[in-house]
A and B are shown apart, each in its own frame.
Chain A
Amino acid sequence: MAVFLTSLVLFLGALGLHLIVWKIRLPKFHTRTLLLLFALVLFLWLVTLTLRPMSLAEVAHVCLFYTSLSLCYVITYSAFEADSPTLSLIRHAHEAAGLGMSSEEVHLFLEKRPFVKARLAALTHDGLVREENGRYFAVGGGSIFFRVILIFRKLYGSIQEGG
């Protein structure tokens, strides 16, 4: 029970800290800052362990549970940070209620939300690609995370082109 409660309290504490920091000022790199915040909370807890000792296995269990919850949140956060075209459209259709939307209205709505351009801008902002004379180049070796995803994709074999 100690493992469950400790992990939960740590996670809620990190969420609270995240909300406070975000209310004060939105960071430039959301995901990186979020990961740092969650790591900081875990580190502080590990430092205070000397005051209230736990067995090594319990500490590892808390670390595992807390990390899995934190990663879950960080992943879900990306859905808050970037718009989902489907959910945006559903929300718009819901607001239009009984009137519905004409094809032109739908196109206009999505024209104002250039999702591909936004994703390209995000890649540039995160320093993963750079634009030079209308061409995009990968920067350095790229992020480890992206490289791992690309390696993992190969395990699946080929996938369809397009979005």
Chain B
Amino acid sequence: MVIWWAVIAPIAALAVNVLGQIVVFRLQHGRHFLRSIAFGFFLGGVALLIAQCIWPPDPSPIEAWSKALLVNLPCYAALSYCFFNFANLGQSSIRVRIYAKVAARSGGVSVLEIAREYNEAMLLEMRLHRLVESGDLALRDGRYFLGRKRFVPIARIIFWIKRLILGKVSEFE
């Protein structure tokens, strides 16, 4: 069992993360999704460290402990990233929301109904409003300017990788 502990630890930590996130999110009545994700991640991280501390693998505890942590820390972070994206898909993905709507009705959903709920113009207004509120875009004299630059490096990296892998920077090209 001791030898398997290093393998089980990140999975157990992920389980703590998932449970913690769901409980916190429900306790907050479905508000503060990102905060609950951060809390779950922190809780799972603590569980991982405790798991590593209370039951370090034999025979040379310190060496085996640090080696297991070298794998388990990024492994736990990677699993948590997967969980965050999975949970986030159910929360905000337009694709999942449309699919949920279509799957729930045996008679199908008309294009008009989808267009009404996911109105491109309305979504655009909401997005613009959010970006202006967060300071990422600045509205001056009726024109939109780049505000905070926190998304610029992320966008740069993503568009650079898109060009490298897909050979284009946009799916609409």
Contact = CB atoms under 8 A, between A and B. Distances in A.
A80 B144 contact: no
B146 A156 contact: no
Interface string A54-84: 0101001100110011011001010111111
Contact of B22 (A4, A26, A155): A155
A83 B165 contact: no
Do most interface residues of chain B lie in helix, strand or loop, or is the interface mixed?
helix
Interface residues of B, number: 80
A93 B97 contact: no
Do most interface residues of chain A lie in helix, strand or loop, or is the interface mixed?
helix
Given A55-B3, A71-B82, A61 B71 contact: yes
A42 to B, nearest CB: 15
B162 interface: yes
B146 A79 contact: no
Interface residues on A, range: 35 or more
Interface of B: 3-4, 6-7, 10-11, 22, 25-26, 29-30, 67, 70-71, 74-75, 78-79, 81-82, 85-87, 89-92, 94-100, 102-103, 107-112, 114-115, 117-118, 120-124, 126-128, 131, 136-137, 140, 142-146, 149, 151-152, 154-156, 158-159, 161-162, 164-167, 170-172
Interface of A: 1, 3-4, 7, 19, 22, 26, 55, 57, 60-61, 64-65, 68-69, 71-72, 75, 77, 79-91, 93-94, 96-103, 106-107, 110-120, 122-123, 128-129, 131-132, 134-138, 142, 146, 149-150, 152-153, 155-159, 161-163
